[in-house]
Structure formats: structure tokens, C-alpha cells
Copies of this chain bind each other. A is one copy, B any other.
Amino acid sequence: MTDPTGFSFEITARDGAARTGLITTPRGHIRTPAFMPVGTQATVKGMYMDQVKALGADVILGNTYHLMLRPGAERVAALGGLHQFGGWKGPILTDSGGFQVMSLAKLRKLTEQGVTFASHIDGSRFELTPERSIEIQGLLGADIQMQLDECVSLPNDRATIEKSTHLSLRWAERSKRAFETQPKGRALFGIVQGGDIPDLRVESAKALTDMDFPGYSIGGLAVGEPQAVMLAMIETVMPHLPDAKPHYLMGVGTPDDLLGAVACGVDMFDCVMPTRNGRHGQAFSRFGKINFRNARHAADPRPIDEASSCPAARDYSRAYLHHLIRTEEMLGSMLVTWINLAYYQDLMAGARAAIAAGRYADYAAEVREGWARGDIEPMAV
């Protein structure tokens, strides 16, 4: 049911396990399956927010870890919140900071209470507890927030994964309690952990379902395991999550990962891949990956994809993109990032339309055929 003053999710069509729908927040709708561009430090790297919006993105992600370090959550709140600060007026989802604390911060000390760490920038000390993570996300004004969790790397031993999964469940309860004071309309998601161990994943999903969250994230995947293991874990977890709630696969992934996960019933994604790879000249396209550093583009006057709705893919020659990337010009990073975010949005728009038309399997097969066919041979000039 849609509550215009609150957070809700409506599934509008199904095709196998895949589904398309609409998340409603007070700041606007999110069409699912949705890819969320990553706005780590209150900016989607190399993009103007109006470009991001024009690509069809309904929601962006902000990183609690980075924002608590610079400029600081209290500072953002004093400046009117993250929407006002960064200029993105639609819904914003924030992570809990846990993943970056584990991957970036130094001198970490993890206890039942939370984690203390030193900033990777200047060594200053911080503490992140479930309560502080929720407080920070509240100060940022995030529309969709994440419980604090612990995310272990894979492969790992059962004892480590089990201990971490149980800790994350206790932190889910504390996060939920801390979230109760926040304004109506915001949503807190629980995060399924359990590494690559099916029974731990199921235990986590069931326990979180009992806590009754408005949405469920699947965390701790795409951390080094094969894609098959990732998809198997999603399939293991899905039957134990409420069907009527949104399912968010955190930090994933390649276009192929997205196609696979949508087929399993995932509704939301985020990943740095389109922006990070774009900065370094690797484009995602209907014809697969294209590396603009490659000399084969040097004399090619054609755009990457004249049929694209994205000006960056349509109005600039491959030779020019190659030149900009080779000379390390900012505009090269800007254009390939733009191309990639456009491709990810188009991929999700295609998925939504295909699910609504009951032909998602055909759509996924056609998209994969395009990648397999590969990029067209360069034209000589």
C-alpha cells in the first residue's frame, strides 16, 4: 500500500522470481529494480546532480564513513542535511559505515559495543556503534538507512562468520531501537549476513524478518567470492525474506551480476564500478566493456553508441575519448563516468520494462548476446 507521507513498496509486476515495483518515500518514488549511483562524499564523482537525475536515477547512495569524517554529520545537519548540502533532492540511501570501517580505517577495535577506529585521512579517532551510526544517518537526513553490521571477507572460517553474523543480528536490534526517534517516512533496513554458509544466511534472514524491517539488504557478498556463490547465497536467502518488502543487494556489481540478481528477486543495487571504472577510461556498453586506453580507438571517428540516450555516448568520437583518457584530462573521466551511469540506468529501465512485459529471461539473454557479440571493429581513417 502506498502511504504518501511514509515509506512503502508496491510490486507492480512479476516475471518468475523477478519483480518490478515502486518504492514511495516522502522525497519521491524509486522505480525498481533500481541502480543507485554512489555519491560517496556528497557528490557522484565527476557528475553534476542534474545529469544524474536526467539519466533516470531515482535515488543515490551516500557513505556514512566518508561523511562522518568529512565534513562530519553534525556539520551536514547544520547546513540543512545531505540533500541540501549536495544538491540531490530525491531520496538518498546511506550505508551504516561498517563496511568502510573494515576496509579503509586503521587501528580498528571491534567489541560488542561497536568499533573504534582511526581515520584513514588524518588518524583522528572515532567510535561507531549501532546507535551512533543511526544518529549519523539521521543527521544526514537519509531517507533509507542501514543497520550497523559487521562484514567479513570471504573465504573465511565458519566460526568467524558465525560470530560476526550473530553480532550483526544484535546490532540490528539496537539499530532498530535507535531508529525509533526519527521522523516518519524514513526507513531502516536490516542486513542479512552469513558469508557463504547457507544455514547462517537463512538464520540471519529469519531473525531479521522476525524483527520486521521495512526493507532487507543482503550484505557481505561481492567480497571476493565467485559470482555463482553470490547468486546461490541470494537464492538461499530469498525464500526467508518477506516477499512484499524491498530487497537490496549491497555493493553489487557488474552489469551481469545485476541481471542475475534481478532474476532472483533483488530490487535495489549500488556499486562504485560505473563511476570508478569510468574515471579510468573503461566504459560499459551494449557491446560489452570498452577500454578507451586501447590504441585501437585512436583514429576511430564513431561515437561509442549512436543509439544511446546519453550525449556522452552519442556526441563524442571514440578517438576523442581515447585522447582525453590518454592525456588524463578531467573531461575523459567525466564523459566515461556519464556513459557508464547512463548504461546502468538503461539496463535497469530495460529490466523493468521486460518484467512488466513478462519477458525478462529473453531480455537478459538479448543483453548478454550483445556483450558476447562485442564491440564493433574499428574503422580506419
Contact = CB atoms under 8 A, between A and B. Distances in A.
The complex is assembled from copies of this chain, and their number is 2
B329 A43 contact: yes
Interface in A251-267: none
A240 interface: no
Contacts of A322: 71
A298 interface: yes
Interface stretch (A15-23, A80-88, A286-294, A345-353): A80-88
A107 interface: no
Interface string A306-329: 000000000111011011101101
A331 B299 contact: no
A45 interface: yes
B41 A71 contact: no
Contacts of A324: 41, 43
Contacts of A86: 320
Interface residues of A, number: 36
A212 B46 CA distance: 47
B331 A79 contact: no
A79 B46 contact: no
Contact of A334 (B79, B315, B330): B330
Given A319-B71, A319-B85, A330-B333, A79 B42 contact: no
A381 interface: yes
Interface string A178-210: 000000000000000000000000000000000
Nearest to A335: B48
Contacts of A315: 87
A47 interface: yes
Given A71-B323, A317-B79, A320-B86, A329 B381 contact: no
A75 interface: yes
Interface string A31-50: 00000000001110111100
Contacts of A333: 330
Contacts of A316: 87
A315 B319 CA distance: 34
Contact of A79 (B45, B48, B78, B381): B381
A301 interface: yes
Contacts of A298: 71, 75
A70 interface: yes
Contacts of A329: 41, 43, 45
B327 A41 contact: yes
Interface in A269-309: 279, 298-299, 301
A208 B279 CA distance: 47
A324 to B, nearest CB: 6
A327 B70 contact: yes
B299 A75 contact: yes
Residue of A47, A87, A323, A324 with most partner-chain B CB within 10 A: A323
Contacts of A78: 299, 381
Interface of A: 41-43, 45-48, 70-71, 75, 78-80, 85-87, 279, 298-299, 301, 315-317, 319-320, 322-324, 326-327, 329-331, 333-334, 381
Q: Which 3 A-B pairs have the closest CB atoms?
A: A46-B330, A43-B331, A78-B381
17 contacts: A42-B320, A42-B323, A45-B329, A46-B331, A70-B323, A71-B298, A71-B322, A71-B323, A75-B299, A78-B299, A79-B299, A79-B301, A79-B317, A87-B320, A279-B330, A330-B330, A330-B333
